[in-house]
Structure 1
Amino acid sequence: MTAQGGAPAHRATAGLVLLHGRGAAAHGMINFAEGLALPEVAMIAPEAPDRSWWPTSFMAPMEALGPWLEPALEAVDRAVSALTCAGLPRASISVCGFSQGACLALEYAARSGLGLSAVFAFTGGLLGTADADGAPTPALYGFTPKRFDYDGRLDGLHMDMSCHDRDPHIPLARFHESEKVLRHLGARVTARIEPGAIHSITEGDVVALRSHLNVPPEASTAQRR
C-alpha cells in the first residue's frame, strides 16, 4: 500500500519518498509533508505491513532484523522507481523518514543512495550489515555492536540527520557511528543533536527539509532539462 500527495509527478520539479515510523501510516507522512508548502514536489509514501517495518528495535541482532529488512528496502526502491517512471530524474528525488522510517532511510541510502538528491533521517541510525564481536553495552541500550561493511560510495549525497541526546529509542553512540560511516562513504552529512529525552521531529528538521526542496523555479527547470 502507498499514499501519494503533493504535485502531480508529470509537472513536479522534485520528488519526495516519505517513510513512516512504527505504528504510523503512509497518509500521516503525506499530511506532514503537504503542510510544509512544497507546491512543486510530488510525494509518495509506502506503508509497512501492520504499520511496522520490523517488529523489534533497529539495534536488535541481524537474525531478528534480516527477514524484515529486505522487503522494507524493496518498498523504498519501488517508491523511488515510481517517481522516476513518472518522469522525475533520480537526481531530483529525496528520501525522508522519521523514527523507524529514518533508520530505513539511512540504511537505504548506505546501500542504494548514490544519485539521489538528498536523504533526511529525523531521529534514526543505521541498522548495519552484520553483527560484530562485542558484549552488550549501556551506550547501545543493552545491545551488541554491528558491522557497517557497505560496498558502494555516496560521493556528494546530501544527508541530513537529527536526534535528541537522550532519545529513548536511538542511542547517541549509534547516531554518531552512523554519521561517521556515512561520511566515510562520501556523503555530505549535516547532523543535529538537540537536548532532551525526546523522540520527535524538530523545528530544525522542518527547516532543513523545506530549505532543500523549496528550489527556485528557474533552478528546478534547469534541473529537469
Structure 2
Amino acid sequence: MKPADPAPVTTAGAAPDRARFGLVLLHGRGGAAKDILSLGTALGLPDLALAAPQAPGQSWWPTSFLAPTATMAPHVESGLHAIDAAIAALNLSRAQIAIAGFSQGGCLALEYAARRGDLMAAFGLSAGLVGTSDAGGPATDALYGHAPKRFDYTTDLAAMPIHISVHERDPHIPLTRVQQSAETFCALGANATLVTAPGAGHGILQDDVTALRRVLNR
C-alpha cells in the first residue's frame, strides 16, 4: 500500500534563525492550520516560530476520540507523522519546541507527548488521551458510553510540562478521561497541570493562553 502523503505544514512567526522557541499548533475538527496559527500569533512573542500541519479533510480522525483504540490507531499514527513534519519545518532543537492543540488537535498533541516526549512542553486544550475499549470492563456513563482505555505508555517525560484543560461538562471530552490523562502524565514523570473550567463548554480558556505565554516567554 502506498504511504499517505505527508500533511502540508504552514509556518508563521519568527524565522528559524531568529527564533528562540518554536510552537507546533494542531487544529480541531473542521478547523484549518491558518486558523489555529492565530492562537500562536496572539501570544505576541516576536521570537516564537510557529508551524501548523493541515489534517486531510480538516479532521485528524472521522470518529470521536473515544472510539476503540484499535480503530483510532491508523489515524493517530498519521497525525504523529504530521507533527514530525511540523517539528522538522521549524528547524530548531526539540528542546526548543512546544506542541499545543485544541479539541481533536489537543488529543493528538497529548498522544504525541505520551508516545514521543522529548519536547519543551505540551498543551492539550479541551483534550484527553485517545482511545477506549482495550482495558476490559463495561462501558460507563463517565466515558460517555465507552469502555475503559489501557494507559500503557512507557515514555520517560522527565518533568516535561504538560498542560491539560477542559470544562466540567464538555459535550465531547469527558472530565473522567481528562483526569485519567493528567494522572497518566504524572506517572510518566511529567509536570502535569489540569485546569477545569466550571459549567458546560468546549473551547480555549484564558488560563490556556496564560500558560502558553508563561512557558514560551521564559
- Coarse TM-score class (shorter-chain normalised): over 0.9
Deviation of 1:150 after TM superposition, in Å, equals 1.1
Partner of 2:20: 13
The reply on whether 1:95 has 2:117 as its aligned counterpart is no
Name structure 2 gaps, 5 residues minimum: 1-7
Letter in 2 for 1:180: E
Deviation of 1:79 after TM superposition, in Å, equals 1.2
Deviation of 1:35 after TM superposition, in Å, equals 1.6
Deviation of 1:64 after TM superposition, in Å, equals 2.2
Q: Is the 8 A contact 2:104 2:127 kept in 1?
A: yes
Partner of 2:69: 62
Q: Is the 8 A contact 1:56 1:64 kept in 2?
A: no
Q: Is the 8 A contact 2:28 2:101 kept in 1?
A: yes
User: TM-score scaled by structure 1?
Assistant: 0.91
The reply on whether 1:214 has 2:217 as its aligned counterpart is yes
Partner of 1:122: 125
Deviation of 1:38 after TM superposition, in Å, equals 1.2
Letter in 2 for 1:100: Q
**Residue pairs, 1:1-225, within 5 angstroms:** 1-83=8-90, 86=91, 88-114=92-118, 116-128=119-131, 131-215=134-218
SS state at 2:156 partner:
coil
Letter in 1 for 2:199: G
Q: Is the 8 A contact 1:105 1:121 kept in 2?
A: yes
Aligned length: 211
The 4+ residue runs of structure 1 with deviation greater than 4 A are: none
Name structure 1 gaps, 5 residues minimum: 216-225
User: TM-score scaled by structure 2?
Assistant: 0.93
Q: Give identity over the alignment, percent.
A: 51
Deviation of 1:78 after TM superposition, in Å, equals 1.6
Aligned CA-pair RMSD? 1.2
Deviation of 1:210 after TM superposition, in Å, equals 0.9
